[in-house]
Amino acid sequence: MIEVENIKVAIGAVDILHDVSLRLEPGRLVTVIGANGAGKTTLLRTLSNVVTPHAGTIRFDGRPTAGIKPHVLARAGLVHVPQGRQIVPGLSVRDNLVIGADRVAGLDRDAIAAGLEREFARFPVLKERQHIPGGNLSGGEQQMLAVSRALMMRPKVLLLDEPSLGLAPQVVTTILKALRGLADDGLAVLLVEQLALLALSIADEAHVLQRGRVALSGPARDLRKDRAVIESYLG
Amino acid sequence: MTLVNFFQLLVSGIAMGAIYTITAKGLFITHLATHRLNFGQGDFLMVGAFASIGMLAAGVPAPLAVLGVLVLMGVLGYLLERFAIRPLDRLGDRAGAYSWVLTTAGAALILQNIVELGFGKSAQYAPPLFSKTRDNVINILGVGIFFEEAAIIIAAFLIVGAFYWFLFGTRWGKAVYAVAFNPEAASLFGIDVRGVVVLVFVLAALMAGISGVLVGPLVSVHPHMGLIFTIKALAVAAVGGFTNPVGILVGGLLFGVAEAFSNYWDSAFGDLYPLLFVMALLAFRPSGLFGERRADVR
């Protein structure tokens, strides 16, 4: 679904990523863990073409994504839930949910209504609050909204940047369980997290990013047992 | 001052105020979405006024002339974004932070001189839009009011209403809010950010053009009239708090009415006092009468 080969990314004069490669497949949840500043957010921004790599290739659905604008990629099903949730504060919860799906070719009024029902069933709190401004939701509710907004666009690949940031532990569990469920239903999920052990507990496969390089990769189950290794990499 | 006098000044003030509001809406929407605005907004208004005068004088029926002005202004708004805004965005940090002030003001100078070539330097008057003669007076509760002014007020309020409907009721209006909040995030949920930027500059040009069509029958029109309209629209937008579309409506009407009365008391320097008042207001309330003080999201 997504193949990343040896990408190198610099922002300004600073090299952020060196020779990063990874693959995402439908039905698999892959996590990228690493300390602050390891390049996790830059990796996701590169996958969604906000940032352009100066070497290496990224393929989505078999085709190189170089030169495709972020909004076109998003409409085609490569949907990135950015860090900090980015809920438009002045728009209602419902408008926030629909704003992306409204722009996806092939999603008509009925498909959007069905999508809303599906997301309201997934996170019932969004249904209760659908008419209040998105900015008035709690952090956890905003994260649910951000995930649902992405799912409304019928993604093939879902990229998530630290969905746990600033949330209470039980909300984190709710969200991570929902992500596991999405992968089980056939979505390709890439989860970037600082809460390494939690991320490893739900992922199929993991990569540890350290100062812009993939320092360690493997089945999440194996990495999880290797706590000493994890802790030394994550600091 | 008689009561009749008072009401006539009030109506004239509301008519001009409504026009300032429409012009300022154009500044508001591009500032909301891009933190940039057209320093030639008043000159775009001037182009709209001359385009309508030219077409009406050539015998084009009024509705067609208005349509023609809108098409012309839409194209001008697109060209402004394409040549005065986009190249600077491409340069990123290498362009000065406020270089768009110079490029948009430069475009305005070009427009002034093109219009001067075509129409000459002297002041002109637009024929009335809504009635046969300029001095067609209607009687409302014993007060004689120019029909033209009353019709302009109604038209202006319809346009302001349409603007609110666009901003709060359509998917494009919601996209403008998403881009205003965070352009990168907006692109991640499928919004064509560059398309929205073009859209707001086209809309701003349309608002200036409509203002020009409406103002033509009220004031004398000449190629260098634009700057004062730019300044007044900026003043109105600043009083309204720049981020509050309803505040701009209130600010525009207040400004227009204040100007009408101020000109009644001092016909030589009447335009000066409302601007002085805005300056004093901003010294004490930099976010205007209706703006909230808040940290910039960008």
Tens digit of pLDDT for each residue in B33-56? 999 999 999 999 999 999 999 999
Q: Tell whether B268 lies on the interface with A, counting CB pairs under 8 A.
A: no
Q: What is the structure's pLDDT at A233? A: 66
Q: Tell whether A71 lies on the interface with B, counting CB pairs under 8 A.
A: yes
Whether B42 and B228 have beta carbons less than 8 Å apart is answered as yes
Q: How far is CA B198 from the centre of its chain?
A: 17
Q: Tell whether A133 lies on the interface with B, counting CB pairs under 8 A.
A: no
pLDDT digits (tens, 9 = 90+) for B201-222: 999 999 999 999 999 888 899 9
Nearest CA in chain A to B192: A71
Q: Which of A70, A102, A150 sits opposite B187 (nearest CB)?
A: A70
How far, in Å, CA of A12 to CA of B94, rounded? 12
Q: Which of A71, A80, A86 sits opposite B193 (nearest CB)?
A: A71
Residue with tokens 């008519």, as numbered in its chain: B15
pLDDT digits (tens, 9 = 90+) for A95-137: 999 999 999 988 899 999 999 999 999 999 999 999 999 999 9
pLDDT digits (tens, 9 = 90+) for B216-246: 888 899 999 999 999 999 999 998 877 777 8
Contacts of A95 in chain B (CB under 8 A): 174
A92: β partners: A133
CA distance B149 to chain A (A): 36
Contacts of B181 in chain A (CB under 8 A): 86, 88-90
Q: What is the structure's pLDDT at A72? A: 96
Q: Do A82 and B184 touch (CB under 8 A)?
A: yes
Domains and CATH numbers, chain A: 2-88+155-234 (3.40.50.300)
Q: Do A86 and B177 touch (CB under 8 A)?
A: no
**Among candidate residues B242, B290, B228, B218, the one with its CA nearest the CA of residue B26:** B242
Within 13 A of B247's CA, how many CA atoms are on the CB side? 17
How far, in Å, CA of B274 to CA of B260, rounded? 10
Categorize the per-residue pLDDT at A235 as very low, low, confident or very high, splitting at 50, 70 and 90: low
> Who contacts B108 (Cβ-Cβ below 8 Å, separation ≥6)?
B38, B39, B40, B42, B43, B44, B226, B230
Give the best-scoring range by mean pLDDT among B56-65, B191-200, B275-284: B191-200
Question: Which of residues 187 through 246 in chain B touch A, CB cutoff 8 A?
Answer: 187-193
- The average pLDDT across B118-134 equals 83
- pLDDT averaged over every residue in chain A: 92
How far, in Å, CA of A46 to CA of A15, rounded? 13
Q: Do A99 and B174 touch (CB under 8 A)?
A: yes
Q: Tell whether A150 lies on the interface with B, counting CB pairs under 8 A.
A: yes
Q: Over 80: is that where the pLDDT of B133 sits?
A: no
Q: Which residue has the higher pLDDT, B79 or B96?
A: B79
Contacts of B184 in chain A (CB under 8 A): 50, 70, 82
Categorize the per-residue pLDDT at A54 as very low, low, confident or very high, splitting at 50, 70 and 90: very high
Q: Tell whether A89 lies on the interface with B, counting CB pairs under 8 A.
A: yes
How far, in Å, CA of A177 to CA of A64, rounded? 32
Q: What is the structure's pLDDT at A146? A: 96
Q: Over 50: is that where the pLDDT of B146 sits?
A: yes
Residue with tokens 């006024």, as numbered in its chain: B49
Q: What is the structure's pLDDT at B298? A: 41
Q: Name which of B90, B168, B174, B189 to mutate to probe chain A: the one with the most chain A Cβ atoms within 10 A of its Cβ.
A: B189
- The average pLDDT across A151-180 equals 93
Q: What is the structure's pLDDT at A106? A: 84
Q: Name which of A42, A68, A71, A75 to mutate to probe chain B: the one with the most chain B Cβ atoms within 10 A of its Cβ.
A: A71
Categorize the per-residue pLDDT at A234 as very low, low, confident or very high, splitting at 50, 70 and 90: low
A206: β partners: A31, A218
Q: Which residue has the higher pLDDT, A29 or B124?
A: A29
Categorize the per-residue pLDDT at B297 as very low, low, confident or very high, splitting at 50, 70 and 90: very low
Contacts of A149 in chain B (CB under 8 A): 189
Q: What is the structure's pLDDT at B295? A: 47
Q: What is the structure's pLDDT at B293? A: 56
> Who contacts A131 (Cβ-Cβ below 8 Å, separation ≥6)?
A92, A93, A94
pLDDT digits (tens, 9 = 90+) for A183-196: 999 999 999 998 88
Q: What is the structure's pLDDT at B176? A: 94
- The average pLDDT across A30-41 equals 90
The amino acid present at A59, given as its one-letter code, is R
Q: Do A82 and B188 touch (CB under 8 A)?
A: yes
Could you state, in order of their start, the residue ranges of all structural domains in chain B?
15-223
pLDDT digits (tens, 9 = 90+) for A73-88: 999 999 999 999 999 9
Q: Over 60: is that where the pLDDT of B294 sits?
A: no
Q: What's the complex ipTM?
A: 0.91
How far, in Å, CA of B3 to CA of B270, rounded? 20
Q: Let me know how many helices (H) and strands (E) chain B has, helices first.
A: 12, 2
What does the DSSP 8-state code read for residue A63? E
